[in-house]
Amino acid sequence: MSTRLRMSFLNALNRTTSMSVDDPREDLTPAEVQAVMDDVIAKNIFNSSGGDLVSVKSAEVITTNVNELI
């Protein structure tokens, strides 16, 4: 089983841009994620082909199970 934190932002063209972090802490809180995402926007750490990131859209932890058949 693997987990990934996917953080989605809206850019200047109102398009969604996402970034992922593999194996986030299990005790990660929504407030911590929100604070980091707000910081990414405020410090203009990343941009996208649609321009600067301007707002938080969503964040989710995705858990994947792989069952090998062969």
pTM confidence score: 0.88
* Predicted confidence (pLDDT) per residue in 16-38, tens digit: 999 999 999 999 999 999 999 99
Instruction: Pick the closest to residue 25 from 57, 3, 1 (CA basis).
Output: 3
Classify residue 34: in a domain, yes or no: yes
| pLDDT surpasses 90 at 47 | no
Whole domain around residue 32: which residue ranges?
2-64
Domains identified in the chain, total number: 1
Classify residue 7: in a domain, yes or no: yes
Classify residue 22: in a domain, yes or no: yes
Check: CB of residue 62 under 8 Å from CB of residue 6.
yes
**What DSSP string describes the chain?**
-EEEEEEEEEETTS-EEEEEEES--TT--HHHHHHHHHHHHHTT--EETTEEEEEEEEEEEEEE------
